[in-house]
Amino acid sequence: MESSDKDQGKKNIPKIQTFTVPFALGEIQENITITTNTPAKPSKPSKPSKPSKPSKPSKEQIINQAIQFHLRGNIPEAIKYYEYLIQQGFKNHNVFSNYGLILKDLGKLKEAEISTRKAIELNPNYAIAFSNLGTILKDLGNLQEAEVSTRKAIELNTNYAEAYLNLGTILKDLGNLKEAEISTRKAIELNPNSAMAFSNLGTIFIDLGNLQEAEVSTRKAIELDPNYAEAYSNLGNILKDLGNLQEAELSLRKAIEINPDFAEAYSNLSLLELLKGNYESGLENYEFRSQTKKPAITHANIKLKKINNEKLDKGNKLLVVSEQGLGDTLQYMRYIPYLRKKDFDISFCAQTKLHSLIQSSCIDLNPLTPEQASLVSEGEWVPLLSLPKYLKVRPENPIVSEPYISSNDELNKKWKDILSKEKRPIIGINWQGSPEIEKSVYQGRSIPLDIFSILLKENDITMLSLQKGFGSEQLNDCSFKNEFVECQPQIDATWDFLENAAIIENCDLIITCDTSIAHLAGGMGKKVWLLLKDIPFWTWGLERENTFWYPSMKLFRQKERHNWQEVMDRVSIAITKEMKKND
């Protein structure tokens, strides 16, 4: 796309050209624009002349040279030239804008922001800098200001396709999905050949729950750019969620073929392999989760060397650090006592809110807080979710399948006494997972509370809500609110995991969607029925009604996408049979 400096409010350089630099990581990409003087055509060779003193290069020549280094990917030389120009006091908005771009790529976001703001100060009508500033602010987590800056770029240049595209990514992150769709469609209208815009539109459709449109848009991106690794990776995820697993795997492998260093594609492939039961390759590829643009979050800043051996070494002290969600810690902490029994010298860092439960369950009598773990200076460390790889966990080799979580006798008795007032069987229910996870990687796992009313039509039971935080507000308008235990307000105010384990211990049955409650109850060996969407998280596989992870658990799977009523009808029948069996 070409524009003139007259358009940007300056006349000292006759013409500039803009180049898009895609960020090829994550679900959705953004465009950053750098500016360059259009290089002059090379002159014809002239006849040799007498040697003369070399002339001092002009400011324009130095700027041009800096930009040429930048475009050729010689970033160290480009930095030298840009910094020289800045140190010499040259007030050129292109220089500050382009230097800000390099700083952004180097991860120096605050410095990138300062440099880009200087470009805007030098030229307040510089749309490119406002757009670039928007992407920098987005990466800094300042989405509201990023939106303002990007909208200013569009105000200055209403035909700026890249700015509309970037605005779409920002609006998507803000959760304004319909506006994100409109902005991205505008980018496509202005540049119908933008593969990135079609790919980004596909990711917006994913968040909107429209997988068919997501597939169409992402395939269009691939049609426009057959070497677009990110689009192939996104398509693989879409096809997996649509149940087209064979083609999903082909698409993910194509992404890796195009870009053999593409961590996101390997990570996505691992989830598909594990879902299909290929644990050997799946657990190997799952290690790429720490190398993606949005890596799996461990719960401490560790100074130790991360273990990278083929197997764990008993000779070294080993710090195991939890990662991701509470359910992940509850599921995988079972391996800590197992390794300790195998004479490994282990320390365990986990989320502080789980410490009392970890101690009561004899997983670790002295678990470390994240702050304590960051001070450990001896040995090596390993992420908790890497232990299945090292232990070669498989359905046929579960390592630990017996119950490993427990509350204490005092709390168990307390809640036994409280709940003994209830005369009917008590069923603990949980219906809503984290909305953040729901938006990104596990859309559709939660169940509207009202659907649980089906269970009451044919069964004489009392319900007990284990829901905490988001989703618990559904209780306020619940049509069967009077069917919950009398002490429900007391339970709602109980957030401690150790005490919630005691509450679960005194239920006759737990029915839940895929949340931490499933892992808590399953780890305790309680009878738990897990209700799963059509394509569930990889842990649960695709077909079986039971799982090697928790022998006391029964799986109820959606037969039709989004159809929870049919699932709940089957659960109701199963409860009736269960009650007759216990009579």
Residue boundaries of the structural domains of the chain: 59-290, 318-391, 409-580
Q: How many CB atoms lie within 10 A of CB 367?
A: 24
Q: Which amino acid is at 60?
A: E
What lies within 8 Å, CB to CB, of 487 at 6+ separation is: 418, 419, 421
Query: Is residue 523 within 8 Å of 403, Cβ to Cβ?
Result: yes
The pLDDT value recorded for residue 436 is 78
d(CA 444, CA 433): 10
Helix (H), strand (E) at residue 498: helix 497-505
pLDDT tens, residue by residue, 482-541: 999 999 999 999 999 999 999 999 999 999 999 999 999 999 999 999 999 999 999 999
d(CA 168, CA 190): 14
Q: Which amino acid is at 297?
A: I
The pLDDT value recorded for residue 46 is 34
The C-alpha torsion from 333 through 335 and 341 to 343, rounded to 10°, is -100
Query: Is residue 344 within 8 Å of 312, Cβ to Cβ?
Result: yes
**What are the backbone angles phi and psi of residue 298, rounded to the nearest 5°?**
-90, 155
User: What is the bridge-based pairing of β-strands 346-349 and 318-321?
Assistant: parallel
d(CA 144, CA 140): 11
Strands in 325-434 per DSSP E: 346-349, 380-383, 426-430
pTM of the model: 0.86
Overall residue count recorded for the chain in this entry:
583
Q: How many CB atoms lie within 10 A of CB 208?
A: 16
d(CA 467, CA 461): 18
CATH hierarchy code of domain 409-580: 3.40.50.2000
Q: What is the strand order of the sheet 305-306 is part of?
A: 305-306, 380-383, 318-321, 346-349
CATH hierarchy code of domain 59-290: 1.25.40.10
Query: Is residue 539 within 8 Å of 579, Cβ to Cβ?
Result: no
The pLDDT value recorded for residue 225 is 98
Q: Which regions of the chain are under pLDDT 50?
A: 1-30, 36-52
